[in-house]
Amino acid sequence: MNDEIQTTIVILAAGEFNKNNPRHYKFLFFKFKRVIEIPILESLKTGFKVSIILTYGNEILYSFLKRKYPLVNIYFAKDKSMISTYQAAFNIDNSEKIIVAGDIIDMKYQDLVTMGEFKGYDVLPRLSKPWKKNNIMSICQNYELRTDLGTGIFKLTHRSQKIFISEENIDKAMLWRSRFNGKNYKGNENTANDIWTWLVFSHFIKLYLNIDSNLKQIEVEVTTQTAKDYDKS
């Protein structure tokens, strides 16, 4: 493994938000922390550089982060779409990126360290507890969405970051979405379930469906529950 390859953790907290009470700013009484603090605190324990992506205008969250977490670099997406959020994340520098959803509330920093050890590989987490009991079948019943693979955290090499948000992968992701949700499904480009999930599925098709790819990809067992986010708390 190449020790010269750097790794950056990028926490995504952009997209649509409530100006008076942003989702990632909400207080979790059972954790005694705000939602965004959980991925931040775990990420800071890794020793990797940590950055966060916000949407312009989210002043409450921005001010809170600047005051309490000055070691975290803040960048802004050009708009509220998921694609713009990823573009902002991948344009930070030439390092490998561990992408982290900003609303995960059950996260272990050791899992991020383990993922970062696989230099030159794209990495998906294999969950100790699948986020759904059974795999999800496509409408035609020919394809399965594995529910033991998490999408709330994943790692991409510098080369793969360009591939991930390429027009080719976006088109393939939307095709896969239609195979599972139907051709008439109207998605929202600002939401993770409609964009994030299918970009990950398309890019990591080698792991999901054992379809050959020239990318070096691996799944790593984790204890983090990537599907346990604010909505499921």
Could you give the percent of the chain with pLDDT greater than 70? 95
**CA-to-CA separations, 56 to 27, 38, 83, 103, in angstroms, rounded:** 21, 22, 15, 18
What average pLDDT does this structure show over 156-182? 96
What average pLDDT does this structure show over 7-17? 94
> Is residue 228 very low, low, confident or very high in pLDDT (cuts 50, 70, 90)?
low
Tell me what pLDDT residue 116 has: 97
Least confident of 37-51, 173-187, 200-214, 216-230: 216-230
> Is residue 187 very low, low, confident or very high in pLDDT (cuts 50, 70, 90)?
confident
Tell me what pLDDT residue 190 has: 74
pLDDT at 229 over 70: no
> Is residue 17 very low, low, confident or very high in pLDDT (cuts 50, 70, 90)?
confident
> Is residue 1 very low, low, confident or very high in pLDDT (cuts 50, 70, 90)?
very low
* Digit-coded pLDDT (tens) for 77-112: 999 999 999 999 999 999 999 999 999 999 999 999
**Which CATH number describes the domain made up of 7-232?**
3.90.550.10
Torsion-angle region of 15 (φ positive above 0: left; ψ -120 to 50: alpha; else: beta): left
pLDDT at 197 over 60: yes
Could you give the percent of the chain with pLDDT greater than 90? 77
Radius of gyration of the chain (CA): 17
What letters, b where the CB count within 10 A reaches 16 and e where it falls short, cover 133-164? eeeeeeeeeebebbbebbbbbbbbbeebbeeb
Residue type, 63: S
* Digit-coded pLDDT (tens) for 104-139: 999 999 999 999 999 999 999 999 889 899 999 999
The pTM of the full predicted model, rounded to 2 decimals, is 0.93
Least confident of 62-76, 168-182, 189-203: 189-203
